[in-house]
Amino acid sequence: QVQLVESGGGLVQAGGSLRLACAASGSIFSPNTMGWYRQVPGKSRELVATITSRGSINYADSVKGRFTISRDNAKKTVYLQMSSLKPEDTAVYYCNLYIWIGSSPADYWGQGTQVTVSS
The model's pLDDT over 23-82, given as tens digits with 9 standing for 90+, comes to: 999 888 888 999 999 999 999 999 999 999 999 999 999 999 999 999 999 999 999 999
| Distance from chain centroid for Cα 73 | 15
Go through the chain and tell me how many residues it has.
119
CA 6 to CA 20: how far, in whole Å? Answer: 7
Which residue pairs from 57-66 have beta carbons closer than 8 angstroms and sit at least 24 positions apart in sequence? Answer: 62/88, 63/89
Q: What is the mean pLDDT of residues 89-105?
A: 93
Contacts of residue 106, Cβ cutoff 8 Å, sequence gap at least 6? 2, 98, 99, 100
